[in-house]
Amino acid sequence: MLGDLTVWYLFLGGAGAGLLLVSAVLECLSPQAFACDGNGRYAPKEAYRRFFGPVYAAGISAVVIGAACLFLDLGRGERALALLFQPTLSFITVGAFALLVLVALAVVPLSVWTFGQPSLPRAFVLVVRPLIAIVAFVVMVYTGLFLSSMPSVPLWASPWLPVLFVVSALSTGIALLVCAVVLTGAGEGFAATLDRLRKIDAAAIVCELVVLALFVGAAYLGGGTAQASAERLVQGDLAAPFLGLVVALGLIAPFVCEVLNRKGAARPAVAAGAFVLVGGFFLRWCVSEAGMAVDIAASVMAALGIQ
């Protein structure tokens, strides 16, 4: 089976990338976030600094920890160094470099919003935003392709898996953003923005439920090993965590919270975000466990390029 570090890598990489994607889009939609100082240089407004500072810090932290899980999962220091300085064309290599590029790009707005760097050229900052969105989306897609590219695991070799992980990354990214903003008290004055994000998250949850049903249904109708894996999720040894932690706690419960929390109260918003994050982790854990078997573990490790 895939190690727990790999599952954390898939979860944190996806959630962090989803948060950074949403943050970059919000920045592009907030031209009023900057003001010119007396020297004609731009400077971030204080209210927006309090909002975007924790958001980018949370996103970068998630991606960095996810990347650390990837390198630790390689097992040996020389293996990690070879991945960076002697890269080969493998999904592990592509994912590692995508994470590193995303962090490098996200450091720019982090420095702007956290430390207020007016010396950076405005054009440079404006170019970095769409680049962050593009690379973040690549990471979100990659976390699904990471598994679906392995034909040796019938459950994972599904076109629905990358779609499922992308939608989940978007939802967990929004949840992480809302938690970071609410818990740091930076949401004051941004009630309308948070309300729109909650509505988008509710729509993403509905999409995730639909795609998850298609993913499991396609595996069940596929017969053979894929059907056996699907049965493990819905009625076998993985039914309790899948139906309880993924479907009920991670999807249905936060959707109900989002619908009922029309006034945007802090506690329901944080509760919904926490539910989404727990469900996002166990979604990847359940999919990983359901697809793996002892007799195919060696071929999967070889496909990942870590053996």
Indicate the helix (H) or strand (E) that contains 34: strand 34-36
> What is the SS3 assignment for 33?
helix
- Note the pLDDT of residue 279: 97
Over residues 61-95, the pLDDT tens digits come to 999 998 888 777 765 545 555 555 555 556 667 77
- Note the pLDDT of residue 307: 45
Contact criterion met (CB below 8 Å) for 15 and 172? yes
* Residues ≥6 apart with Cβ < 8 Å to 233: 216, 239, 242, 286, 290
What does the block give as tokens for 31?
């031209």
Exposed e or buried b for every residue in 157-185, given b needs 16+ CB within 10 A? Answer: bbebbbbbbbbbbbbbbbbbbbbbbbeee
Domain encompassing residue 155 = 4-304
258 pLDDT more than 60? yes
**What band does 296 get if pLDDT is binned at 50, 70 and 90?**
very low
Q: What is the mean pLDDT of residues 232-259?
A: 94
What are the DSSP calls for 197-238, one per residue? HHHHHHHHHHHHHHHHHHHHHHHHHH-HHHHHHHHHHHTSTT
Contact criterion met (CB below 8 Å) for 280 and 173? no
Highest-pLDDT range among 59-68, 139-148, 151-160: 59-68
**What band does 30 get if pLDDT is binned at 50, 70 and 90?**
confident
Q: What is the mean pLDDT of residues 43-72?
A: 87
* Residues ≥6 apart with Cβ < 8 Å to 167: 204, 207, 208, 211
Which of 77-81, 191-195, 290-294 bottoms out in mean pLDDT, i.e. has the lowest?
A: 77-81
- Chain mean pLDDT for the chain: 84
Q: What is the mean pLDDT of residues 222-244?
A: 92
Over residues 154-187, the pLDDT tens digits come to 899 899 999 999 999 999 999 999 999 988 888 7
Alpha-carbon gap, residue 131 to 128, rounded angstroms = 5
- Note the pLDDT of residue 148: 77
CATH code, 286: 1.20.1630.10
What does the block give as tokens for 206?
């509905």
Over residues 201-229, the pLDDT tens digits come to 999 999 999 999 999 999 999 888 889 99
**Number of domains the chain is built from:** 1
- Note the pLDDT of residue 150: 75
- Note the pLDDT of residue 294: 41
